[in-house]
């Protein structure tokens, strides 16, 4: 039995209305296979199966037999030349609708000799969004923080401690060794675990090169691989190179709160953990709903900081977003919160300011002298971003 996920199903069929090839990407066990199998009237082919790989040796014959058919090619990177089949389908078989899945961006793998520019639509499936939680029968946000957003982890009755390490081992065996040239397993896995344990912090390559006993260039290469496979998200600083701003050091977020908790050794949430986990979930929500990685943060040398910055390239306005699990409405707390926005808006006056919180049902607008701040739920934040055509 597969759970219907209307948001994602609609996104797939909307993408098919534009192009006949969809690249569905996302980390291992995020639910790509289940999502594909939940689609009506779709034929499923697992490319890890030798029988399926044998069937696809003659791509033209295969595609000719699938006219007016919806098909899934799961784990397509297991084919010897996956881009050949997809390119052939895009150019000569427009009546065959294909959704191909993989655990990385299409251009990340050397197996893809052609990245199908202009021939495909991409859909990124992240860990569960807030709206997915209700479909999976649990709206407890603290459960989401601790168990994470991979469906099989989220629906577990007890914290699936051993599955976290099993996932990391499978990630190395099936996603890294098969696709990338990464030599040292110990160094790579240690780097991955250290990044997850330090999720949300500023990244400095030398610190990790010493701990992992590899060069700074190797660390940079590892980070690229982890970003391409969606295991981490590199959030770079927003600036116009002003002398008062932080302009170089990126922040690196782990892909999932459950894995971050596991790496940090957290088996029970403390009061100081929830704000940090909420920030991760809001980032996941923006990325998934808007299908964008064009998210930055801002910090100046005086210590003022904004969690997330999004630029609207059409009108050059800049949206500033702060994440607070609980917002306190007393004047002193609000004034402290407003200080960061005021510092930012002195440099970049055009754009909206949002505080996205878990304890807000109805959006409200507060005024601090000439500064307006909107206090919103995640759903209302996304609605506002979509209305402004950001992403």
| Sequence spans of domains, the chain | 6-124, 138-275, 304-387
Please name the helix (run of DSSP H) or strand (run of DSSP E) that holds residue 173, with its range, or none.
none
Q: Which residues pair with 375 in a beta bridge?
A: 355, 364
The predicted pLDDT at position 35 comes to: 97
Between the alpha carbon of residue 244 and those of residues 20, 309, 312, 351, the distances in Å are: 48, 17, 23, 20
Give the lowest-confidence range in 65-74, 94-103, 170-179, 371-380.
170-179
Query: Mean pLDDT across the chain, nearest whole number?
Result: 92
Q: Give the integer Cα–Cα distance in Å for 229 and 104.
A: 4
DSSP code of 267? S
Cα separation, 125 vs 128, in Å, equals 8
Q: What is the structure's pLDDT at 81? A: 87
Angle at Cα 103 formed by Cα 101 and Cα 105, nearest 5°? 90
Contacts of 50 (CB under 8 A, 6+ apart): none
Q: 56-60, 245-249, 312-316: lowest mean pLDDT where?
A: 245-249
313-325 tens-digit pLDDT? 888 899 999 999 9
For the domain spanning 138-275, the CATH number is 1.10.10.10
What would the pLDDT profile of 267-295 be if each residue is shown by its tens digit?
A: 999 999 999 999 999 999 999 999 999 99
pLDDT at 67 over 70: yes
Q: Which of 8, 73, 36, 25 is nearest to 231 (CA)?
A: 25
pLDDT by residue (tens digit) across 76-120? 988 888 889 999 999 999 999 999 998 887 666 666 777 788 899
Q: Which long-range contacts (CB under 8 A, 24 or more apart) does 311-317 make?
A: 311/238, 311/390, 312/351, 312/388, 312/389, 312/390, 314/389, 315/350, 316/350, 317/350, 317/351, 317/352, 317/388
Query: Are residues 27 and 229 in contact, defined by beta-carbon separation less than 8 angstroms?
Result: yes
Question: Is 138-275 the same fold as 6-124?
Answer: no
Secondary structure letter of residue 248 according to DSSP: S
* 229 contacts 104 by C-beta, under 8 angstroms: yes
Contact residues for 58 (Cβ-Cβ < 8 A; gap 6+): none
With a cut of 80, say whether residue 28 has pLDDT above it.
yes
Q: Mention every residue, 6+ apart, whose C-beta is less than 8 A from residue 272.
A: none
Question: Residue 252 pLDDT more than 70?
Answer: yes
C-alpha closest to that of 186 among 198, 194, 174, 196: 194
- Around Cβ 18, how many Cβ atoms within 10 Å? 9
What DSSP designation does 178 have?
T
User: How confident is the model over 329-359, as pLDDT tens digits?
Assistant: 666 667 778 999 999 999 999 999 999 999 9
- Please say whether the structural domain 6-124 has been given the CATH code 3.40.190.10: no
Q: Is the dihedral of CA 235, 240, 243, 244 positive or negative?
A: negative
Structure confidence at residue 247 (pLDDT): 74
């Amino acid at each position: 039995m597969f759970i219907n996920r209307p948001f994602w199903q609609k996104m797939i069929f909307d993408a098919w209305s534009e192009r006949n090839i969809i690249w569905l990407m996302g980390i291992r066990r995020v639910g790509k296979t289940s999502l594909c199998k939940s689609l009506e009237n779709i034929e499923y082919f697992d490319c890890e199966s030798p029988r399926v790989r044998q069937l696809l040796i003659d791509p033209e014959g295969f595609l000719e037999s699938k006219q007016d058919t919806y098909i899934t090619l799961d784990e397509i990177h297991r084919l010897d030349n996956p881009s050949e089949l997809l390119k052939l389908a895009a150019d000569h078989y427009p009546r065959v609708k294909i959704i191909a899945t993989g655990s990385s961006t299409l251009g990340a793998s050397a197996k893809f000799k052609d990245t199908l520019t202009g021939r495909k639509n991409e859909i990124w499936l992240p860990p569960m969004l807030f709206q997915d939680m209700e479909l999976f029968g649990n709206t407890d946000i603290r459960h989401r923080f601790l168990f994470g957003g991979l469906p099989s982890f989220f629906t577990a009755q007890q914290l699936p401690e051993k599955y976290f390490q099993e996932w990391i081992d499978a990630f190395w065996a099936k996603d890294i060794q098969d696709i990338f040239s990464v030599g040292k397993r110990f160094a790579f896995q240690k780097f991955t675990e250290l990044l997850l344990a330090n999720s949300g912090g500023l990244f400095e390559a030398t610190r990790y090169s010493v701990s992992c006993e590899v060069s700074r260039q190797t660390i940079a290469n590892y980070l690229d691989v982890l970003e391409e496979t969606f295991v981490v998200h590199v959030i770079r600083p927003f600036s116009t190179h002003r002398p008062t701003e932080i302009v170089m050091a990126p922040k690196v977020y782990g892909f999932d709160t459950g894995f971050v908790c596991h790496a940090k050794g957290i088996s029970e949430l403390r009061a100081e953990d929830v704000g940090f986990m909420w920030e991760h979930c809001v980032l996941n929500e923006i990325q998934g709903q808007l299908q964008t990685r064009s998210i930055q943060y801002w910090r100046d040398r005086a210590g003022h900081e904004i969690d997330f910055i999004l630029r609207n390239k059409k009108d050059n306005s800049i949206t500033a977003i702060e994440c607070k699990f609980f917002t306190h409405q007393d004047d002193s707390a609000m004034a402290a919160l407003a200080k960061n926005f005021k510092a930012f808006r002195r440099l970049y006056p055009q754009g909206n300011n949002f505080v996205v919180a878990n304890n807000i049902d109805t959006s409200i607008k507060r005024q601090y002298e000439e500064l307006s701040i909107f206090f919103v739920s995640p759903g209302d934040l996304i609605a506002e971003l979509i209305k402004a055509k950001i992403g």
